[in-house]
Each structure stands twice: as structure tokens, then as C-alpha cells.
Amino acid sequence: MKVISTEKSQILAARIATALNTTLVDVKFSRFPDGELYLAAGKLDKETVIVGSITDSDALVQLLLLIDACEGSQNYLVLPYMGYARQDKKFKDGEPISARAIAGIFGKGIKDCITVNIHEPSVLRYFNMPVTNISLAGDIGDCITSMGLSDPLILAPDDGALAFAQSVASTGGWDCDHLEKTRLSGVDVKMAPKKLCAASRPVVIVDDIISTGGTIATAASMLYKQGATDVYAICVHGVLIGGAYTHLKVGGIRDICCSDTIERSCSRFSAAKSIAAALKG
Ligand code: R5P
């Protein structure tokens, strides 16, 4: 078995190869003069783990090319971050179910697939092959432990994210709650933990994705007003579009970290061991 990856998932792929005690396949990436993507894979093995986060349209096309280049091998697909998964239903007439459109592309040439904290697990039914969705809640728990915080409150940004926050909190036996939004007027909204008090303690907001950082920055300013000593943000997928990292820092977030499902400078824990464990079955 060897591991091969798209350009955007090279570091995670190397870590997966180490965790599987195997090697990487070298890949040459370039573009044709008209902008089309080109790649050429090195020598494959009988079994290949193909790693590619869908961070943008080029990453998706590159992943499709890579799967095709792995023809003849028994292939396992790892989608560390599946872009388009947030459009998991038609919110308005005329919209696509983007998650279904993307998931449906994969199947040919793939035996099994692994996803990591996919935004909405119900979209797994759109894949044309068996899919295992793994969670990095334990890795986030380890990351929080390493921060050495005293009696942290683990907060989900909303009730939909509470189950994930609870599984993070259970790794350290920490308190857990979710933020609740109360509309005070046409323009004013209050965000506070639903049941617990944030005063005089550090708060860690955990989420599957940080995209613009807007949700967490707004929550942080309110948590400080409620007396939180420090607010931290940890997520699985650091999408961090535009100036999200700066926006969070300016908003008073002490530290921001994410996994390497999207490779960032603030990727401080790796999905590799959990992915390797899932591949080993
Ligand atoms: C949404 O359902 C996700 O779980 C995240 O909460 C969301 O993507 C965060 O978005 P942003 O960082 O733009 O506030």
C-alpha cells in the first residue's frame, strides 16, 4: 500500500503514510498553457490511499485526475475536508444540493472512502461507495489538554454543534454548553451560554468549520463582557476565508487552531492517526 495526494493535502498525506508505515507516491503537478490541470503519478502499488481535500474547484478537479491516474490499483479515497458539504439541501427554489452533486462524482475506481467530521452526516448517503466518517473530537480534546487551561468551559456555537462539543468535553471531563442567540431588537443580538456561566474562566469554542470567523468573533466579544478570562477557538476544518484569522485575533480570540484536513499555519493537530486507524479497519 502507498499513499498519494493532491497538492493541497501533501503534508497530511505524508503523516498518513508515516502512520501506516508506508511510503508516498511522487506526483508531478503542472498546468497546460490554457490553465487546465495536469499531473503524472509515479509508480503505484497494488493498493493506494488517495488523499485530497476539496478546498476549491481546482482541488476537486485535481483529485478526479489523481483517481483516474490510479487506475489499476485498489484505491481508498480519503476526503479530509469535503467542500460543498454545507449546501446539503435546497434552501431556496432553484438551488442545487451541492453536497449530493459532489458526493455523486466519486465511486468509479474507489473501494472505500473516509471523510472527517463531514458537516452534515446525512450527505453520506449520496456517495456511491461505502463511507466511514471519522471524528477528531478526541484530537481536539488532546489539543485542549496540551493548553493546560484551568477548568475550561467548552462551548458549541449553536445547539446543532452541541453533540460534537460534548464529545470534545468528555475527553477531559470539562463542562460543556452551547451558545444561545437572543434577539434583543431589530439590530441587537445577545449570545450567551444556555445554561452555564462563562465568568472567571477560560472558554474554548469548538466547531467543525471556521469559515469567516464571524460567528466566533461575535460570540467572543459577548463572552468577554460576561466575564470570560480568555476565549479560544478550535475547529477541525480551518477554512479561514479572507481575513478570518485576523478578524478572530482582533476580536480577542487568544489562540486559534485547527487540524491539517486543510493545511494551515495554525494546523496544530493532525487527522493522520485517526485516518490511518480507520484505514486499518
Ligand atoms: C455551520 O453550520 C458551521 O458548522 C460553522 O459554524 C460555520 O461554517 C462557521 O462559519 P463562520 O466562521 O463564517 O461564522
**Residue pLDDT, tens place only, 52-66:** 999 999 999 999 999
Confidence of residue 187 (pLDDT cuts 50, 70, 90): confident
Q: Is the CB of 52 under 6 A from ligand 1?
A: no
Q: Is 87 in the pocket of ligand 1 (CB under 6 A)?
A: no
Concatenating the DSSP letter of every residue in 151-190 gives SPEEEESSGGGHHHHHHHHHTTT-EEEEEEEEE-SSS-EE
Q: Which domains does the chain have, with CATH numbers?
A: 2-135+270-280 (3.40.50.2020), 137-260 (3.40.50.2020)
pLDDT of residue 184: 86
Tell me, using a 6 A CB cutoff, whether residue 144 lines ligand 1. Answer: no
Q: pLDDT by residue (tens digit) across 200-216?
A: 999 999 999 999 999 89
pLDDT surpassing 90 at residue 183: no
Pick the atom of ligand 1 nearest to 158's CA: 6
Q: Best of 210, 216, 236 to mutate for ligand 1, by most ligand atoms within 8 A of CB?
A: 210
What's the pLDDT at 23?
98
Confidence band (pLDDT; 50, 70, 90) for 267?
A: very high
pTM (predicted TM-score):
0.96
93-132: b (≥16 Cβ within 10 Å) or e = eeeebbbbebbeebeebbebbbbbbbbeeebbebbeeebe
pLDDT at 150 over 90: yes
**Side chain identity at residue 63, one-letter code:** L
Which burial class, exposed, middle or buried, applies to 69 when counting CB atoms under 10 A from its CB (0-12, 13-18, 19+)?
Answer: buried
CA nearest neighbour of 238 among 119, 81, 114: 81
As annotated, the active-site residues are 181
Residue-level pLDDT at 226:
95
- Residue 8: pLDDT band with limits 50, 70, 90: very high
- pLDDT number for residue 188: 83
Cβ of 214 closer than 6 Å to ligand 1, yes or no, is yes
- Is-contact 29 39, C-beta < 8 A? yes
Nearest to 221 by CA among 191, 176, 258: 191
Q: Give the ligand 1 atom nearest the CA of 211.
A: 12
Q: Is the pLDDT of residue 156 over 90?
A: yes
Ligand 1, atom 1, residue with closest C-alpha: 209
Nearest to 58 by CA among 83, 76, 27: 83
Per-residue pLDDT of 217-255, as tens digits, reads 999 999 999 999 999 999 999 999 999 999 999 999 999
For residue 66, the CA-to-ligand 1 centroid distance in Å is 30
